[in-house]
Amino acid sequence: MRYNLDFKNSFDTTMLFWIERFVRNKLTSLSNRQVSDKNKLAFIIQQLVKGTKSIEELEVFVKEARNIGLNGINTYFNPLLKLYNYTSNLGLASMKEIDEELLSDFLASETSSLSDASKKNHRIALLSLFSYIDKQNENEDGSSYLFKIELKNWGGLSGKSGTKLPSFMNQDEVNRFLEAIDKYEFTDNIAYRNRLIIKIILYTGIRVSEMLNLKLKDIFNEKDVYMLQIRGKGNKPRVVMIKKSIIENDLQNWLNIRVCNSDILVCNQKGDRLTQAYVSRIVENILISAGIRKEKNGAHMLRHSFATLLYSKHHDLILVQEALGHADINTSRIYTHFDKDRLRKTTEIF
């Protein structure tokens, strides 16, 4: 069913309606292979069919969808949440007042401090939303209002922010961090689980989402190592290894008390999937206890630390690409910036 572009009573409610419709479309079109609770996803979609009362309520449903494994939804929704708040302050009367210039102004003001990758995600989210509206709105005569948003001339990607080098720990900081993991006092019976999560991410470089989606059947005992079968972005499979001695104690103790509602390896105390935000809070708390300060203290920093040390030790970009599951080797090249031996040669030129 198609709708008149401005059929709601006010601009804010109309904007909310179109973002809500777009999010609902994405919930049904994004890959649901890693969704841990299909019934929960069906419930969320049904609630969006009924409609939400506010952007905050819609945000709650999006977070719930992400928490059950639909990770890509945030890439689309977060920029649109910013757009909703941005346009709400402009006093617009009609969706037709939105054009390339307004969206370029929005991107310039809202993404100035972000990396190029985040800026691209914002642009993609806007293009996707207005392309969707182009196809779904209908005038009384049966025609459609077309925004035809392209944002080809937006120069934000060449701004002063540029591509940021990732935060990472050096070898000394990693050693201090590992000591802090074992000393940190966790509450209740979650110590074995939390140490297991952090050690696997740090020693293999897998993404937090990949860790939280890891299933019992994905772990294989191979002599002195565990082989982990990972499903990466785009459901691309790869295998990583970790020495058995590193996680054996935490793994076995966790399995003895583990009570999960599905076959995922780790879960919260209700038996459901853990959130990435929770894992990042754990990492940040341990970093603080170890006296380590980084620009970004989240769990993703562990992946950058693994990749940086891996390249520094072996100088093998293909190995880094395969270990991290990068589709393009150029994504892995950022870790060559931390090759101190190579950079040291520049000091000897004279």
Q: How do residues 195-240 score in pLDDT, each as one tens digit?
A: 999 999 999 999 988 999 999 999 999 989 999 999 887 678 899 9
Per the annotation, the verdict on 160 as an active-site residue is: no
Q: Are residues 151 and 216 in the same domain?
A: no
Residue 27 structural domain: 11-158
pLDDT bracket for residue 153 (50, 70, 90): low
Per the annotation, the verdict on 199 as an active-site residue is: no
Last residue of a domain, one of 101, 135, 158: 158
Per the annotation, the verdict on 300 as an active-site residue is: yes
CA–CA gap between residue 88 and residue 84 (Å, rounded) = 6
Q: Are residues 327 and 230 in the same domain?
A: yes
Question: Using an 8 Å Cβ cutoff, are 336 and 318 in contact?
Answer: no
- pLDDT higher than threshold 50 for residue 80: yes
Which CATH number belongs to the domain containing residue 203 in this structure?
1.10.443.10
How many structural domains comprise the chain?
2
Q: Which of 26, 300, 304, 311 is catalytic?
A: 300
CA dihedral 76, 78, 80, 85 (to 10 degrees): 180
Q: Are residues 186 and 324 in the same domain?
A: yes
Q: Are residues 124 and 178 in the same domain?
A: no
Q: Are residues 88 and 185 in the same domain?
A: no
Degrees to nearest 5, angle at CA 188 with 248 and 198:
40
Predicted pLDDT of residue 164:
61
Predicted pLDDT of residue 157:
54
Residue by residue, DSSP assigns 43-81 as: HHHHHHHH--SSHHHHHHHHHHHHHTT-TTHHHHHHHHH
Q: From the CA atom positions of the chain, what is the Rg in Å?
A: 23
Last residue of a domain, one of 158, 192, 221: 158
Q: Which of 26, 193, 303, 304 is catalytic?
A: 303
Per the annotation, the verdict on 303 as an active-site residue is: yes
Q: Which of 207, 231, 273, 304 is catalytic?
A: 207
Per the annotation, the verdict on 342 as an active-site residue is: no
Beta carbons within 8 Å of 273's beta carbon, 6+ residues apart: 36, 37, 67, 68, 69, 212, 213, 264, 267
Q: Are residues 147 and 176 in the same domain?
A: no
Residue pLDDT, tens place only, 93-150: 889 889 888 898 899 888 888 888 888 999 999 999 999 999 999 988 888 999 989 8
> Quick check: pTM over 0.85?
no
348 occurs within a structural domain: no
- pLDDT higher than threshold 80 for residue 247: yes
Per the annotation, the verdict on 326 as an active-site residue is: yes
